[in-house]
Amino acid sequence: MAERRRPSSGTPSRRSAPARRAPARKTAPARKAAPARKAAPARKAAPRKKSARARAAKRRHPSAGSRWSGTVWLTIGVVLFVALLFVFVFPTQTFLTQRRDVGRARDRLTVLEEQNHQLEQRYVDLQSDAEIERLAREQFGLVRPGEPGVVEIPPEELVPLTPPPATDLPATEPSTNTTVPPGG
């Protein structure tokens, strides 16, 4: 049989090549029938070899001849549990901490913005001459030339004008010692 060949397009064909048949054998001439032999004793059938698929299935199925002990499964379980902690619990805890910190930072930002607004208002006020003069009179007691300078003393700083009350002191008699100390 002659094989047909297609012209090559440079890429391998997706079609599989036709299977080749083995050449036919010539049959030998028929022999005469041999005398009947005694039947051989029945042999035990040889155990069949299991296919590779059956062996692989047995290896995969844990109840079918598993070689792994309970401690191995326990170790795998513990490792998976720790992995789950790292994947879910710790990031969640970090997320909640960061969320709380962001809330605190927002509160602080609100306070700082309010203080900033007050300071900006004070800056605008201090740009006027009237405000500067008011502060100079209040804080430093400054006056314009020709004005009388009057300083108010706060009541808590006033000194009483009356002498302090006399305390009862024991009466002492004058000393009778008339000696003068040397050098005096």
Task: Report, in this order, helix, strand and coil percent for the chain, each rounded to 5.
Answer: 45, 0, 55
Per-residue pLDDT of the chain (184 residues; tens, 9 = 90+): 555 555 555 555 555 555 566 665 666 565 666 566 666 666 666 666 777 776 666 665 555 445 778 899 999 999 999 998 888 888 888 899 999 999 999 999 999 999 999 999 999 999 999 999 999 988 888 888 888 887 677 777 766 677 667 777 666 665 666 666 666 5
Domain spans in the chain, listed from the N-terminal domain onward: 66-143
Quote the pTM value: 0.34
CA distance 168 to 59: 114
Structure-token match 């290896």, residue found: 59
